[in-house]
């Protein structure tokens, strides 16, 4: 059973979307996975995903409404076998917390979609382009799923 954690900054836009998109794709592929998401920051802990993000996701049949933001913790290195960061800043913030001796892989989300030549999922909280974020998350989720099935 794969245990995968998606991580962004606030855990109200990109990583909850990645959690829902990847969970949906894995279910359709009949791949057993445990998925979760977290933010490196604590500003939105306990909150539901951001309204405009939920609305954009809902148009693609992803329900983000049950999700609640939490902060990434050092225990996540032992609780998951893959950690997927939405951008390079998330990746650096995660790596800064890595316990000595832990070797859990931490990968960039867009490393699973090299054909896009995009390295990060731009933060739609700032860009306001929620569909761009979903487009990238969907294509990277396809790539991650294919890698796990290979």
Choosing from 4, 13, 137, 140, the residue that interacts with ligand 4NP (CB under 6 A) is: 13
CA distance 61 to 119: 26
Please provide the distance, in angstroms rounded to a whole number, between the alpha carbons at the two ends of the chain: 15
Selected from 4, 5, 6, 14, the binder of ligand 4NP by CB under 6 A is 14
User: By CB under 6 A, is residue 56 in contact with ligand 4NP?
Assistant: no
Q: Contact between 57 and ligand 4NP (CB under 6 A)?
A: no
Distance CA 86, CA 122 (A): 8
Stretch that binds ligand 4NP, among 4-12, 18-26, 95-103, 106-114 (CB under 6 A): 4-12
According to the binding rule CB under 6 A, does residue 21 interact with ligand 4NP?
no
Catalytic entry in 14, 36, 76, 87? 14
Q: Comparing C-alpha atoms, which of 32, 95, 38 is closest to residue 69?
A: 38
CB-CB neighbours of 150 under 10 Å: 5
Q: What is the chain's length?
A: 150
Q: Which of 36, 76, 87, 123 is catalytic?
A: 123
């Amino acid at each position: 059973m794969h245990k995968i954690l998606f991580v962004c900054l606030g855990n109200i836009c990109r990583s909850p979307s990645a959690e829902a998109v990847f969970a949906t794709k894995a279910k359709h592929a009949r791949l057993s996975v445990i998925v979760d998401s977290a933010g490196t920051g604590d500003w939105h802990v306990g909150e539901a995903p951001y309204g405009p993000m939920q609305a954009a996701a809902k148009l693609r049949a992803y329900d983000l409404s049950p999700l609640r933001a939490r902060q990434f913790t050092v225990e996540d290195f032992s609780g998951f076998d893959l950690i997927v960061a939405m951008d390079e800043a998330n990746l650096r913030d995660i790596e800064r917390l890595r316990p000595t001796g832990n070797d859990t892989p931490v990968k960039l989300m867009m490393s699973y979609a090299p054909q896009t030549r995009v390295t990060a999922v731009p933060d739609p909280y700032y860009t306001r382009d929620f569909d761009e974020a979903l487009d990238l998350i969907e294509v990277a989720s396809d790539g991650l799923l294919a890698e796990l099935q290979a």
